[in-house]
């Protein structure tokens, strides 16, 4: 099929995304735009649903509120209908729609099922299985199965999630593609920095098991810990031990600085299908940091991770195992350097941002 000349990007509205869109091309924050710049440099006209100011039109907000009420009352699952409805003209003017997250993807497939979205849609799943499992009743599940069947393709950043979706959508469903996430290996590269924390943990995903890390910190007061989290998640942690510093919603440039200054990066995650702290994991690996991460289904396959080779892998919820791996990493300097070096090699070989955006472009061209 011919390459698309125009692509509409549907984003989840957030301060991070707004800041990224305002930033200059080439800045670290543009990483949050899921390849928009890389698609644009191919000569493609790119538009998105956040082009207007923060306030969507009143009619779109009112319609979205009504639709979401009906969906949840009937046992369904909603999303950001407001920004999608307000952008329908631009959506239907594009050759292909690229939905970057379920928050906007679910409204798009439901509106496509209703005939209001008419262009080919590439749906990115980031935790869709957990959402589909919340649907109540076989009739509602069939509605969402039919709606998702209207997508030209479904992309998952987890091999496990892609397999789950293929089974759920059944034969005859849309193409489901596993696309490993990537990292800009030039923006995130090894740098010399004075250590400012023994242990760093970064993430806004609700699956992050910061409580496990705090428990480890309480037993090891001689070590310094730093947690970078979203505001709501940080609030849920309550009072922290004196050796745990907490930061919230810092810019990506500061995240990069925190990674550079950490002796090791600890990423405990509760078991799930889609999240393995993948973004932070790849960033830390690209910076040659030794990483201890939970072996969730999301990263158990497809990311070339080997325990003791390019990271330390620990089963989700295994507090003692995670603590043991963390302490071994901190006390074995040569082994930690080796982990970091091989982590960088793995990312350069297989998980660069160029490889990621090339794979997305290939999917878009199939539509």
Q: Given pLDDT bands bounded at 50, 70 and 90, which one contains residue 118?
A: very high
Beta bridge partners of 122: 98, 153
Average pLDDT over residues 8-17: 92
What average pLDDT score do residues 265-291 get? 93
Among 270, 278, 260, CA closest to 322: 270
What is the percent of the chain where pLDDT is above 90? 85
pLDDT digits (tens, 9 = 90+) for 321-363: 999 999 999 999 899 999 999 999 999 999 999 999 999 999 9
Contact call for residues 292 and 311 (beta carbons, < 8 A): yes
**Strand, coil or helix: 155:** strand
In the prediction, which pLDDT does 36 show? Answer: 96
pLDDT at 3 over 90: yes
Residue 257 has pLDDT above 90, yes or no: yes
Distances (CA, A) of 193 to 39, 51, 290: 34, 38, 15
pLDDT at 154: 98
Question: For the stretch 254-281, what's the b/e string if a residue is b when 16 or more beta carbons lie within 10 angstroms of its beta carbon?
Answer: ebbebbbbbbbbbbbbbbbbbbbbbbbb
Alpha-carbon gap, residue 17 to 361, rounded angstroms: 21
Distance from C-alpha of 356 to C-alpha of 350, rounded to nearest angstrom: 9
How distant, in Å, are the alpha carbons of 5, 11, 119 from that of 93? 11, 17, 8
Q: Stretch 280-295: mean pLDDT, rounded?
A: 97
Question: What pLDDT sits at residue 272?
Answer: 82
> What CA–CA distance (Å, rounded) separates 210 from 232?
13
Residue 68 has pLDDT above 90, yes or no: yes
Average pLDDT along the chain: 94
Of the pLDDT bands very low, low, confident and very high (cuts 50, 70, 90), residue 148 is very high
Per DSSP bridges, beta strands 225-229 and 244-248 are: parallel
pLDDT score of 1: 66
Q: What is the largest CA-CA distance in the chain?
A: 61
Fold agreement between 6-182+353-365 and 197-350: yes
| Chain position carrying tokens 């793995």 | 346
Burial class of residue 208 in the structure, from the number of CB atoms within 10 Å of its CB (0-12 exposed, 13-18 middle, 19+ buried): buried
Q: Is the pLDDT of residue 273 over 80?
A: no
Token pair 């089974």 is found at 167
For 90, which DSSP code? H
What is the pLDDT at residue 161? 94
Which helix (H) or strand (E) segment is 107 a member of?
helix 102-113
pLDDT average, residue stretch 250-268? 95
| 197-350 fold | Rossmann fold (3.40.50)
Domain residue extents for the chain: 6-182+353-365, 197-350
Please state the rounded mean pLDDT for residues 224-251.
93
The pLDDT tens digits for 177-203 are: 999 999 999 999 999 899 999 999 999
Answer whether residue 170 shows pLDDT above 90.
no
**pLDDT-derived band at 172, boundaries 50, 70, 90:** confident
Give the list of residues 6+ apart from residue 14 with CB closer than 8 angstroms, or none.
Answer: none
Question: Which of 14-28, 86-100, 199-213, 276-290 has the least mean pLDDT?
Answer: 14-28
Query: Is-contact 175 366, C-beta < 8 A?
Result: yes
Q: Tell which phi-psi region holds residue 288, choosing left (phi > 0), alpha (psi between -120 and 50) or beta.
A: left
pTM over cut 0.75: yes
CATH number of 6-182+353-365: 3.40.50.2000
**What's the rounded Cα separation, in Å, for the pair 338 and 236?**
36
Distance CA 103, CA 77 (A): 10
**Residue indicated by tokens 């959506």:** 91
What is the structure's pLDDT at 188?
96
The whole-number pLDDT of residue 156 equals 96
């Amino acid at each position: 099929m011919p390459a698309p000349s125009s692509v509409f990007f549907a984003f989840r509205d957030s301060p991070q995304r707004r800041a990224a869109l305002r930033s200059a091309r080439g800045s670290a924050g543009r990483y949050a735009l899921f390849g928009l710049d890389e698609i644009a440099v191919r000569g493609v006209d790119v538009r998105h649903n956040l082009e207007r100011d923060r306030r969507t039109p009143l009619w779109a907000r009112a319609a979205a509120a009504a639709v979401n009420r009906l969906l949840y009352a009937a046992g369904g699952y909603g999303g950001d209908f407001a920004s999608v409805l307000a952008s329908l003209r631009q959506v239907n003017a594009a050759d292909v729609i690229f939905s970057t997250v379920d928050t906007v993807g679910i409204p798009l497939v439901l509106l496509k099922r209703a005939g209001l979205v008419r262009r080919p849609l590439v749906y990115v799943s980031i935790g869709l299985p957990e959402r589909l499992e919340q649907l109540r009743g076989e009739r509602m599940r069939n509605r969402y199965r039919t709606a998702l069947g209207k997508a030209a393709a479904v992309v998952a950043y987890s091999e496990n999630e892609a397999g789950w979706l293929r089974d759920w959508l059944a034969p005859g469903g849309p193409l489901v593609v596993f696309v490993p996430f990537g990292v800009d290996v030039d923006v995130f590269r090894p740098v010399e920095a004075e250590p400012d924390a023994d242990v760093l943990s970064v993430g806004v995903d609700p699956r992050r098991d910061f409580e496990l890390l705090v428990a480890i910190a309480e037993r090891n007061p001689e070590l310094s810990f730093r947690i970078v989290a979203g505001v709501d998640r940080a609030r849920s942690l309550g009072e922290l031990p004196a050796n745990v510093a907490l930061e919230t919603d810092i810019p990506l440039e500061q995240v990069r600085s925190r990674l550079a200054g950490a002796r090791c990066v600890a990423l405990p995650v509760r078991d799930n299908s889609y999240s393995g702290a993948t973004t932070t994991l790849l960033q830390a690996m690209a910076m040659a940091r030794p990483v201890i991460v939970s072996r969730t289904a999301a990263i158990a396959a497809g990311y070339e991770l080997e325990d003791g080779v390019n990271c330390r892998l620990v089963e989700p919820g295994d507090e003692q195992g995670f603590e043991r791996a963390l302490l071994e990493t901190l006390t074995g300097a040569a082994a930690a350097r080796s982990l970091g070096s091989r982590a960088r090699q793995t990312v350069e070989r297989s998980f660069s941002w160029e490889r990621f955006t090339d794979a997305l472009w290939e999917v878009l061209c199939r539509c």
